[in-house]
Amino acid sequence: MSLLPELYEAVVIGDDDLAAELTGECIEAGLAPQTIIDDALIPAMAEAGRRFETDEYFVPDLIMSGRAIKAGLALLSPLLGAGSSSHAGSVVIATVQGDLHDIGKNLVAVMLEGAGFEVVDLGTDVAPEEMVAAIREHRPQLVGLSALLTTTMLSMPATIEAIEAAGLRDQVKVLIGGPPLNEERAREFGADAYADNANAAVRAAFELVGVK
C-alpha cells in the first residue's frame, strides 16, 4: 500500500501512533503538507463520520480518529507555517460555547498561521465573554468562530451580540464556519463572512483584512 492510503486507514481506525509515524514518512517522501491533509487526513475523518452516522462507529471511535488526525496535523503545522514571513494580521479563533469539536477549527488556525496571520486560539466551548476579553487583550483585526452542532451554532449570534454590546464590533471582522453554517446564516447572525473549508477561510480572511 502506498503511504497516503495507509495514513488514511490509520486515521479511520484511530491509531494515533501509526498516524504520526506515517505522516512523518509522507513528509520524508517529499509529499506536500497540503496533499497529506487533503488526500488522507480530511477524507479519513469524513469516513469516520460516515461510519458514526451509520452506527458502525460510536463516540469513542470518533475520539480516537480525532486524536489520530491531530497527531498528523501536529507534524504538518510547522511545515505549513514555514516560509510565510509576512504578517497578514491577527486573528482570535474559537469553537463557540457548548461545542467541543476542534478538528476543523484547528485546521483553519494552522492554515491561517501558514498564510502569515498571527493566531490566538482560545480552544473549544468558548463563552461570549471570554471572546470579548480576548479581543480586548489581543486587539485582533479578525475573529473566527467555529460550530459543528445545529444547537451550538446559536452561540455565534450570542458571541457577536456580546462583541457589539462591548463596543468592539467595529474593530473586528467576524468570519464563521462549520457544517451547519452557510452564507445566509452568516448574514442572519451578523457575521461578516462565511467559509466552508480551511483554504476558503484563508481567502476570506485576506479579503476581510484588505490584503490582496
State the residues that interact with ligand B12 by CB under 6 A. 42, 45-46, 48-49, 52-53, 59, 62-63, 66, 98-105, 107-108, 144-146, 148-150, 175-180, 195-198, 201
Q: Which is nearer to ligand B12, 29 or 58 (CB)?
A: 58
Q: Closest Cα partner for 196 from 131, 124, 107?
A: 107
Q: Which residues contact 113 (CB under 8 A, 6 or more apart)?
A: 77, 80, 81, 84, 119
Q: Which is nearer to ligand B12, 132 or 143 (CB)?
A: 143
Q: Which residues contact 26 (CB under 8 A, 6 or more apart)?
A: 3, 4, 7, 36, 40
Q: Which is nearer to ligand B12, 105 or 169 (CB)?
A: 105
Q: Could you tell me the smallest distance in angstroms from the CB atom of residue 10 to ligand B12?
A: 16
Cα-Cα-Cα-Cα dihedral of 161, 162, 168, 169, to 10°? -20
Q: Which is nearer to ligand B12, 79 or 85 (CB)?
A: 79
Q: Could you tell me the smallest distance in angstroms from the CB atom of residue 124 to ligand B12?
A: 7
Q: Could you tell me the smallest distance in angstroms from the CB atom of residue 121 to ligand B12?
A: 11
Q: Could you tell me the smallest distance in angstroms from the CB atom of residue 51 to ligand B12?
A: 9
Residue with cell 457577536: 160
Q: What is the DSSP letter of 200?
A: H
Q: Could you tell me the smallest distance in angstroms from the CB atom of residue 197 to ligand B12?
A: 4
Q: Which is nearer to ligand B12, 140 or 178 (CB)?
A: 178
> Measured on CA atoms in the order 39, 45, 48, 49, is the torsion positive or negative?
negative
What is the grid cell recorded at 2?
A: 502506498
